[in-house]
Structure 1
């Protein structure tokens, strides 16, 4: 009973992470209209690293090679996912990128099985399929082909799936606070390096209200809070269920965009959002020989 309560609490907190990412999506979009992507990522993850330093410093005596290695690996995977997604956006529509990125919900159970032999509950696998259908209806507004942009985004989905799987495993082996700290530091360093090479400018920016609002809000809520909660709570739930819950990100982004940004939601998109919500509920169900449990 206690383990079920821990799992339910973990799932609810992971849902709050998906909502935080979705709500800040519009903010990020507005910021990168005037700020190069990698420069923005550097400031976002740089500030997040500083904040995480003050949260994690009391655990510094627990730092070891394994913690640093795991943090660097997670950070490298996460940054690579951001990078391939960003380059994918340069070659195909954002709606297609959003859909293909969400396909990590299907990648996770298969990768978890092949890498760690983790078995997936039947209802969670069903929820993954429902979530993919919902994602298609919610995000797609163009013809799906397999061009260069789509290929890069498929790699992105694969990388996000790996990030979820390895986060669940590493969080059980090392100090969570230090793991998140080294992950954020890795992303900020790689973002700076890419920005210096690829962006037109890194520091000579328009430091206005939109920029500071996006950097501060995303650093606090969509980075420090989000990755700390994800890393800590994945100890108590499965990687596949985490991926299903994270499909709520585009749902929360669409709802927030509707109310705050005046964006239009079609009946098809609303149906897609409902299917994703249903998928997260199905993922919480448990079947036994005696019948259905919650």
Structure 2
């Protein structure tokens, strides 16, 4: 039984690694699209189309209409939007390296959220992985020593991502998955429209090549595939390991930026990426060893 659970968790972690790579790969096309379109305009259209697709999937595959899916989706949608919005505005007031590093520190916050709300103990291997993930993020981002509005907003973003990971792990086990996701997307549509009219020129997009490219990639891969994978696999693995795995996002973004965008990816960034990978491996191997040890202990008692 434990071996089967361990195998499922390993497959879930591999799926989340693929999700993190996909999410990171969307950074470049989305960043390019923001040169001719407002961020909230992009978010509005991205999640509007994704919401229609997800609603159709929910109608086809969810077994019943579940009010909890709506309730939990509203909560997760607000949290997710605060993550997007705070990170977006952080880039206006701080260096991108600082924003990437601080928002990535959600990996440190997740264990405390897990313990505070669900009283789940975290293994020593997970803590080692988290520590290495933070060190890797530092080298990967190379942030400067400063603190202002942008850094404060990045902290808000880190908490938002942390809460979203933990609560998704909890809620996804208790309701209809696709309805939960469609509701989240609906919340982001409404809030993005409000922010677009408040801070941009409304929701009318500039229909250029960059917009279409960003929409196709972000809707099909980052939103539909990415969020389905996240919610599904968080049923099988821990929020702490998921947060650690998601530190691969900037690694994926950096590699794509280097090969496709002509961006720099130096020795320190490579070292940071390797340290992050080491942290994920230690957490993964440690979990397997721990479960094997529990299985042997149970066998002895039997």
Bin the TM-score by the shorter chain: over 0.9
Offset, 1:274: 0.6
Q: TM-score if structure 1 supplies the norm length?
A: 0.95
Q: 1:122 maps to what in 2?
A: 124
1:230-251 superposed Cα distances (whole Å, 9 cap, x missing partner): 0011000000000000000000
Q: 1:20 maps to what in 2?
A: 22
Q: Of residues 91, 94, 106 in structure 2, which corresponds to 1:92?
A: 94
What are the residue-to-residue correspondences of 1:103-182 with 2, within 5 Å?
103-141=105-143, 143-182=144-183
Q: Secondary structure at the match of 1:127?
A: helix
Q: Secondary structure at the match of 1:90?
A: helix
Alignment RMSD (CA, Å): 1.7
Counterpart contact for 1:135–1:247, Cα < 8 Å:
yes
**Distance of 1:238 and 1:288 partners within structure 2:** 14
**Distance of 1:246 and 1:140 partners within structure 2:** 18
Q: 1:216 and 2:187 equivalent? A: no
**Distance of 1:290 and 1:160 partners within structure 2:** 31
Provide the aligned length of Structure 1 versus Structure 2.
Answer: 291
1:103-125 superposed Cα distances (whole Å, 9 cap, x missing partner): 00000001110111111111011
Offset, 1:185: 1.4
Counterpart contact for 2:107–2:130, Cα < 8 Å:
yes
* Structure 2 unmatched ranges of 5 or more: 296-302
Q: TM-score if structure 2 supplies the norm length?
A: 0.93
Q: 1:36 and 2:38 equivalent? A: yes
After the TM superposition, which parts of structure 1 deviate over 4 Å for at least 4 consecutive aligned residues? 287-291
What are the residue-to-residue correspondences of 1:2-17 with 2, within 5 Å?
2-17=4-19
* Higher mean displacement: 144-153 or 14-23: 144-153
Residues 1:237 and 1:200: Cα distance change in structure 2 (over 3 Å): same
Q: 1:283 maps to what in 2?
A: 283
Q: Secondary structure at the match of 2:93?
A: coil
* Structure 1 unmatched ranges of 5 or more: none
Residues 1:236 and 1:97: Cα distance change in structure 2 (over 3 Å): same
Offset, 1:64: 2.6
Residues 1:111 and 1:289: Cα distance change in structure 2 (over 3 Å): closer
Counterpart contact for 1:59–1:178, Cα < 8 Å:
no
Q: 1:189 maps to what in 2?
A: 190
**Distance of 1:140 and 1:175 partners within structure 2:** 41
**Distance of 1:68 and 1:145 partners within structure 2:** 41
Offset, 1:265: 1.2
